[in-house]
Structure 1
Amino acid sequence: MAASAEVRFLSGLDEIAAQDWDALRPDDNPFLAHAFLAGLERHGCIRAELGWLPWHAVLLDAGRAVAAAPCYLKDNSHGEFVFDWSWAEAYQRHGLDYYPKLLVAVPYSPVTGPRLLGAPAQRQVLLRALSQACGRYGLSSAHVNFVAEDSAADFAADTWLPRHDWQFHWHNRGYRDFDDFLAALKPKKRKNLRQERARVAAQGVSLETLHGDELDDADWHFVHACYKETFAEKGNYPALTEAFLRHLGQAMPRNLVVFLARQHGERVAMALCLRSHGTLYGRYWGCTREIPGLHFEACYYQGLDYCLREGLQRFEPGAQGEHKIARGFLPTPTRSFHYIAQPPFREAIRRALQTEELHWQHNGAYFRAQSPYADDDSGAGA
């Protein structure tokens, strides 16, 4: 890397060519594709009114992009899934501004993956640039969310504070089909899953699997309407536009998977997922009427069936949800790292995170003890 190499911050992902950005991706994680991230910006999902300003870091060496990170200036903590509201309140109590802050993440997506794209030495240059930007631009902090396990060593413990949480993921242990997966469960859990699926079918519900290039206009409108309704019910803002979802269907057609449910021929629910070569990612769910068991069928069992048919090795159905354990999804740690510019706050947050870590470890032991597998090691999480 030449001495003249520099980090630039871009106000939009379209300022870098798609092929140059995608060449830096270490795998086919769909959330890091230029089409996904730029699509959020083009189709109104990322904008100042929602507290998101694109500010992507790109390391240029002789004019060529050799490393990058999806970065945003944030005026709030919505859409992140790593909750730091109490930190912002502490700043406010001391008469200081927590916002704006710098965030390295995939918006609205609690999905683990690479965050700093490039070789190890180049990732270190990016990290230094992120911490220096806080001082240069008066930012309270920098945060890197849902960091892949093999990237955790990039973050120096004396500078970047680690934070952990749990999600619940399924791993394919060589199951031939759904019945083979069920056979690995404890008898009571196996019986419950079969009863849940049978209850849905008995209510006249059928499901079909559609990829992005297989949905028609009515399907797209229904999918987005369901998505909006679910967010409205929870009092949250539905940031993803129908235009963005349609864009994914066109730009990444085989990465987008929709499980569409009909009752007596009428659309009643959907579960929207994305996929890579080896992993299915559950993202959104919505329904027009309450049908007992349909949420589990659309969001979990259809996804498991899909993984088994397609040879996918992992299913990440989304954030939180201890109820997923009984359905074969086991605790898997997630990690984020945080640079706090003000030393007194950095030390106070460090102490708080040390206490939080003890609770995280206790919860992990409890979750692991709830394994539904007959052989407790047969489905162990990462």
Structure 2
Amino acid sequence: MRILEGIGEIAAAQWDGCAGADNPFLSHAFLSALEESGSVAADTGWLPRHVVVEDAGGTAIGAAPTYVKGHSYGEYVFDHGWAHAYEQAGGRYYPKLLVAVPFTPVPGPRLLLHPEAAAGTRDQIVDTLIEIARQAGLSSIHVNFAQADECTALAEYGFLHRLGQQFHWNNAGYATFEDFLATLASRKRKQLRKERQAAAAAGITVRALTGSEITRRHWDAFYRFYLATADKKWGNAYLEKDFFVRLGATMGDRVVLVVAERDGRTIAGALNLRGTDTLFGRNWGTLEDLPFLHFECCYYQAIDYAIAHGLKRVEAGAQGVHKIQRGYLPVATHSAHWIADPALRRAVDDFLRRERPAMQQEMAALAEHSPYRQAGEG
């Protein structure tokens, strides 16, 4: 076992051998861009403590992106209420241990295993996480946006399972955007066409850039958009400008940057990363509040790109019931939580036992508002 104080302490090929190529956010390059830009560091409340399992020859066969956290911001699985209740009762919730990708609500594996990992490697990772928490006196371990089977395995160690939801678009083999529209109910189909036409009517040109097509000028503009959106929504920008520049330099072939331009000036942008079969929507921003521009840049352009490149899915990120009417349907997300204090564990367990069925009912209710045509509809 090794505990890394930074992702730079392991070779990219070693880490990526465990992370795989499907999910770009788990890659050494992405995690490195976060750390080297200063977006993820001790003074921002993210202390890297990555867990790595090596075989006798020194090859990494298992890993987990791990951080000691001094707060719960940038996680998208909200436990502020747990922290407040515990501290009101005299406990100390922070620091805690988090296994996740910072600022990234993208589901995927969190206990990363090399294809040739020995049996028991995942158990070694979990044992190490619990040992870190116990030795350091941490209140809890949180494995966010994990896979369902990981949560099942973690339950054997006393982790509690939490359900969340996101909205994803699935490609049913469409050849064009019009093919997708043809699957919608007539009223919804007209609505989407109207929204797309509104952006064009405003004299705006929208295009998707990738690789060398994205220049420093684009990143400078996008960072301004990001700051403007962060100021409106959160009042706190987590990501440093250098993060986006590093992302373009090291992962440009996996970046899909949608830009909206008018009169030669870039006025809005949406950042996506491309996986093996999925386009992941991440950040959006604009300097002008124009009707439907957000929908065009974030949702419709992503669908266009996925269809053109034969991708199976678009994952549009956290929250946003309005996504349903744009063809993105609710799906479950999963996280697992280990609580050291028995009293707090019982309280959280009771809360999750009530939250899970409520979340399932909510997803079922939202699915009834699907914009897709039912049998007999036009």
TM-score interval (norm. to shorter) = over 0.9
Aligned to 2:101: 106
111-120 or 147-156, which deviates more: 147-156
TM-score (norm 1): 0.94
Is 1:170–1:314's contact at 8 Å kept on the other side of the alignment?
yes
| Alpha-carbon contact 2:267-2:288 (below 8 Å) kept | yes
Rounded Cα–Cα distance in structure 1 between residues aligned with 2:333 and 2:75:
13
Displacement of 1:35 after TM fit? 0.6
What SS does the aligned partner of 2:112 have?
A: coil
SS at 2:120 equivalent: helix
- TM (norm. structure 2) is 0.95
Q: CA deviation at 1:302?
A: 0.5
1:53 to 43, 47, 51: 47
1:32-51 pair list within 5 angstroms: 32-51=26-45
Q: Distance in 2 between matches of 1:173 and 1:127?
A: 38
Cα distance 1:235–1:151, how it changes in 2: closer, same or farther (>3 A)? closer
Q: Who is 1:4 aligned against?
A: none
**Helix, strand or coil at the partner of 1:297:** helix
- Equivalent positions of 1:1-382 (< 5 A) are 7-62=1-56, 63-118=58-113, 119=117, 121-156=120-155, 159-375=158-374
**Native 8 Å contact 1:212 1:248 kept in 2:** no
After superposition, what is the alpha-carbon deviation per residue over 1:116-135, rounded to whole angstroms, capped at 9, x for unaligned? 11146211211121122221
Q: What is the CA–CA distance in structure 2 between the aligned matches of 1:301 and 1:66, rounded to whole Å?
A: 39
Deviation, structure 1 residue 149: 3.1
Distance 1:135 1:152 in 2: 20
Q: Indicate the SS of the match to 1:127.
A: helix
Deviation at 1:32, TM superposition (A): 0.6
The structural deviation recorded for 1:286 is 0.8
User: Is the contact made by 1:184 and 1:375 (CA closer than 8 Å) also made in structure 2?
Assistant: no
Q: Which runs of 5+ in 1 are unaligned?
A: 1-6, 377-382
Alpha carbons 2:68, 2:96 under 8 Å: kept:
yes
SS of corresponding position for 1:318: strand
| Distance of 2:157 and 2:206 partners within structure 1 | 51
Structure 1 CA distance for aligned equivalents of residues 235 and 61 of structure 2: 38
The residue type paired with residue 97 of structure 1 is: R
Deviation string for 1:27-66 (max 9, x for gaps)? 4210011010011111111112221100000112223321
1:291-312 per-residue CA deviation (whole Å, 9 max, x = no partner) reads 1110100010001000001111
d(CA) in 2 for partners of 1:139, 1:366: 38
Tell me, yes or no, if the aligned pair for 1:328 and 1:372 is still in contact at 8 Å: yes
Cα distance in 2 between the residues matched to 1:257 and 1:194: 23
Distance 1:273 1:51 in 2: 25
Q: Structure 1 segments of 4 or more deviating over 4 A? A: none
Given that 2:17 and 2:60 are in contact with CA atoms closer than 8 Å, whether structure 1 keeps it comes out as no
SS of structure 2 residue aligned to 1:155? helix
In the alignment of these two chains, the number of paired residues is: 370
For the residue of structure 2 that corresponds to 1:280, the secondary structure is: strand
Give the unaligned 5+ runs of structure 2: none
Distance (whole Å) between structure 2 residues aligned to residue 359 and residue 149 of structure 1: 18
Q: Which secondary structure state, in structure 2, belongs to the residue aligned with residue 277 of structure 1?
A: coil
Task: Tell me how large the CA RMSD over aligned residues is.
Answer: 1.3
